[in-house]
Amino acid sequence: MNPLSIRSSGILLHPTSLPGPHGCGDFGQEAYRFVDWLVESGQSLWQMLPLGEVGPGNSPYMSSSAFAGNLMLIDLLALAEHKWLTQDELNASPAFSADRVDYPVVTAFKMGMLRLAAARFFAKPGKHMGDAYAAFCEHEKHWLDDFALFKALWAHESWHEWSEWPEGLVKREPKAMASAIKQHADELAFWKFCQWCFAWQWEALRKYAKARGVHLVGDVPIFVAYQSADVWAHQKLFELDERGCPTVVAGVPPDYFSATGQLWGNPLYRWKAHEESGYAWWIARLRHAFNLFELVRVDHFRGFADYWAIPAGAPNAIDGQWMPGPGAALFEALLATFKTLPIIAEDLGLITAEVVALRDKFNLPGMRILQFAFGEDERNYFLPHHYTANTVAYTGTHDNDTSIGWWHSATDHERDFAQSYLRTDGQEINWVMMGALSASVANAVIFPLQDILGLDSAHRMNTPGTGSGNWEWRFTRAFMASCDTARLAAIAERDKRNPRSK
């Protein structure tokens, strides 16, 4: 049964934001504690951001692979349990920040530990773990081989973009590829080991959550980073010139978030080539996502109807043009493969009738954001009385301010309208907004953890259009100690959103 077919509620929190001893939230003990807290608070959905490696600006939406996991999420304590690390080595870690992820410091420490762990594993893998590793490499080879080689070559080529590598590697000529695989065999094994560790730790957490009635909700970015194994390995599927460089890149025109639009910079798809392949790459990508999660939010859904194409090298997103996407053909191919599509359509921004028709043709739930509801009047699409059951409603997403931060920066009109509509004097506005969503007809409502904790703008996850300081937020156990768990559970119970009580 699709978790969105019944009334439910949940929390938006990326695992990197969890507490933990090694500078970044991971799949260790605190992740299991969070699942237990979700159960205690009557929540049945845990939504997170993409689980891939972070890219420029620490963004999880610019990963070097659409398939590989973020190694910073690997629990080092679990590796120590296998004797691949010692407690003394872990105790020698730097003094990490408890409330921000310092990516350079965390990455240097964790990669060093992973190097040690990999060396000890390969020195004495043992039959059980050795067989598990080999089985993983075989099962995932359709993406893992290219990813591991890409990572090895990227380092060997002094972190230059792949289009600047030796021509034989850029063109993926068989002789050059075979030579590189032989030359970098140890590095390939290391990167595969890391992805294996990510996979078995994630699977253990996923099973723990599922056994307790917590459904994990993932996030699939529509685009991938140029400097990625996917673009290098599948060049014909992207709009590239003869040198392998993008001719057009992704973004959105000026909107609510930015007067100059958003210049994301991802290469755009050559959709005709995808169609000719039967959308094989997209089918593989969604199969991978559906194996990780019970539901996935597909970011920038409107790009499947039409997308904003910006000339490569443009200074901003203003001078792009709309181009037709694959439309229904892609989703028909997906539906023929998977029979059902457990997808949430991120249908925010400038949405046309064609986007709505595409979403509704496949009965995909869209998103409503309460912070967007008060800029106009009662006709506003984001007001709860306009919701339908097949909707996922949020106070805000990772791109929004916290609800308290939004309240303090709102216009006079927004505050006046919100006070009237929500029947509030503005006190505890976060709880008022969450209560209004929970009482709505939307089948699913999801609250950022910052709203549960009553935090201000200093705790927002991302500010679109800014290049630094994003994706770093973490909470501490002290925050959770002050959380009104019983109040959240009572709201879920009141509005019949706790499936466990039925």
| Catalytic annotation, residues | 299, 346, 399
Quick one: CA torsion of 412, 414, 416, 418, rounded to 10 degrees? -160
Residue 445: which of 372, 393, 389, 371 has the closest Cα? 393
- List C-alpha distances in Å: 411 to 9, 105, 375, 406, 416: 29, 39, 8, 10, 9
CA-to-CA distance for 56 and 114, rounded, in angstroms? 22
Strand partners, 218: 296
Residue type, 123: A
Measure the CA–CA gap between 271 and 268, rounded to whole angstroms: 9
Nearest Cα to Cα of residue 332 among 300, 304, 294, 297: 304
DSSP-based three-state secondary structure for 301: helix
Element (H, E) at 336: helix 328-338
Secondary structure class of 47 (helix, strand, coil):
strand
The C-alpha atoms of residue 421 and residue 257 are separated, in whole angstroms, by 24
Distance separating the N- and C-terminal Cα atoms of the chain: 16
DSSP-derived 3-state class of residue 498: coil
Cβ partners under 8 Å of residue 236, min gap 6: 270, 273
Query: Tokens in use for 392?
Result: 């996922």
Distance from C-alpha of 350 to C-alpha of 312, rounded to nearest angstrom = 22
Amino acid at 411: T
